[in-house]
Chains A and B, each alone.
Chain A
Amino acid sequence: MSLQQCRTQQPVRVREVDLDDPLRAAELGLRPGTVVRVTQRGAFGGVVLAVGGARVAVDARTARHITVEPVEV
């Protein structure tokens, strides 16, 4: 599923980041293997993620291009 589809507060593992330039996403912690969770949904489909202790805001289109899978805590 994509980041946009997952439930709030559900920990998910990033599987694929399908962006033209995935470098900055990777540098901010959004890279295959890391565990993140959606902490807040904004208007127009944007999401806020917990990446480690940080909060990263992602627009709707980018969130659709990040594939994740659920993990057990």
Chain B
Amino acid sequence: MNFWNKIDTLDRRWIYLLVAISVIVPFILPVKLPVYVTPETQQLYDAVENLPDSSIVMLTFDYYPSTIAETEPMSRVALHHLFRKNIRIVTVTTVPLGGPSMAEQVTREMAEQYGKVYGVDFVNLGYKANYVAVLKGMGSSIEAIYPTDNLSTPLSELPLMNEVKNYDDIDFIFVVADNGIVDYWISIVNALYGTPVGCGVTAVMAPKFYAFISAGQMTGLLGGMKGAAEYELLLGQPARATTGMDAQSLMHLLIIGLVLMGNIGYFVGRRQKGKKA
């Protein structure tokens, strides 16, 4: 049995071991491979950068805990950028599992760093069920959909929410999501109310949204951990996404190698079978 035949019958656990090594090693011996910024990330960064002081941005936490490796760094870079520019933030989530608590935890942690005050500089509206009704309803009145914030404080008692009645008072929507809700932020909110929408999505979802960028329906896109790393680079604040990129690159090289080996093994096997016949 030659090498290529052995590959055919290789125990898959050897591949898992190779994957584990190629992910762990870059954290112990970082190579710091360069990350370049794609036009889509630059577009999102510029859209936020060009917002005037004291603008109001709606930031969404539309993701489940299972994807925080990709999405939480996006929320953090968004919060860094927005707080740094003194932009006021209204956070919402349409995801019940994890979304509300992550919005609360991450936003308060970042707000503390920048000395921002709850109710004045930022508000967390939390979760409401039935996202289509929520997205449409906020176009008429946010208070009708969210009579209270995430911690049950009436919106009338929060100074920031006295200025925010519906999408007309929102200058930009920064969606961070890991599911199909992004379609509705575009097809309902952007299309019906004209509020510009920029998105950070998981890598699995990203290819779909290039068409929306080209059509001008979306202002900028962050695709997965790479997108978050690019934004960290633009902000000059390397964090978890940047440190993860070495492992990401090494893993991609490994997968390319495995795909090539698998294909060569297949063709060699087919040739040998042809000779025998």
Q: Do the two chains bind?
A: no
Mark B residues whose CB is within 8 Å of A: none
Mark A residues whose CB is within 8 Å of B: none
